[in-house]
Each structure stands twice: as C-alpha cells, then as structure tokens.
C-alpha cells in the first residue's frame, strides 16, 4: 500500500510537466505546418494556373489577398507573429492577358519590436 502511494505521488508530481511539454509540442507542430505552407507556396501555385486557383491557394495558406486589375497583379501578404521577431511573407503574382499566372515572386522578411 505504501509503494502504491509513493508511485501515485511520483506520477502526480511529474504530470503537470508532462502535460505542459505535450501542449508545447502540439503548438510547435501546428505552427510549423502553417509556416511550411507559406514557404512552399511557390510550388503550389504554378505558371499558367488560373488567377482563381492562385488566390485560392494563397487564402488556404492564410494570406490576405488583394488584386490590382490595372497592373494585373495578385498580391498575398502573411504575417506569422513570434515572441520577439515576426516573419512576413509577401507574394506578387503577375497575370497574363488570359488571367493566368505568368510570374511569381515570393519575399520573406523578419520584423522585430
């Protein structure tokens, strides 16, 4: 009976630490997935795809989008906040006369407090 009590006491002592580590791992893994989407956006939007499919892929990755009809440019902007430094990814997609993707430019920058 005493051994069972000691075992239970040991388990309850480390349970909060285990739960905190599990939650941190879950948060870190979910953040990596969202960042990976932005890092691989150029692979998801290929040349000659439609403007609608390009905009869909941007929104699926969490980008805010705007379209400039005069310049035939589709813009995407995404900010991933961090504790001290945030990562910003911007996408500029030039469309051709048929409203299909001609060129894609992706820029990344880090911004701090």
Compare 36 and 89 and report the one with higher pLDDT: 89
DSSP string, 59-98: HHTT-EEEEETTTTEEEEEEEE--SSEEEEEEEEEEE-TT
- Note the pTM of the prediction, 2 decimals: 0.67
Q: How far apart are CA 6 and CA 67, in angstroms?
A: 65
Q: Give the residue extent of every domain in the chain.
A: 2-112
Looking at residues 29-46, what average pLDDT do you find? Answer: 72
Per-residue pLDDT, 17:
53
Per-residue pLDDT, 83:
80
Residue in the structure block whose two tokens are 């890092």: 39
């Amino acid at each position: 009976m005493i051994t069972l009590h000691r075992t239970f006491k040991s388990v309850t002592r480390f349970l909060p630490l285990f739960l905190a580590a599990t939650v941190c791992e879950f948060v870190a893994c979910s953040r990596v997935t969202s960042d990976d989407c932005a890092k691989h956006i150029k692979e998801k939007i290929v040349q000659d795809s439609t403007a609608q499919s390009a905009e869909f892929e941007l929104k699926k990755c969490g980008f805010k989008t705007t379209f400039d009809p005069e310049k035939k440019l589709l813009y995407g902007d995404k900010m991933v906040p961090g504790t001290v430094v945030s990562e910003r990814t911007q996408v500029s997609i030039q469309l051709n006369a048929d409203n299909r993707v001609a060129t894609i430019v992706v820029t990344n920058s880090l911004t701090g407090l």
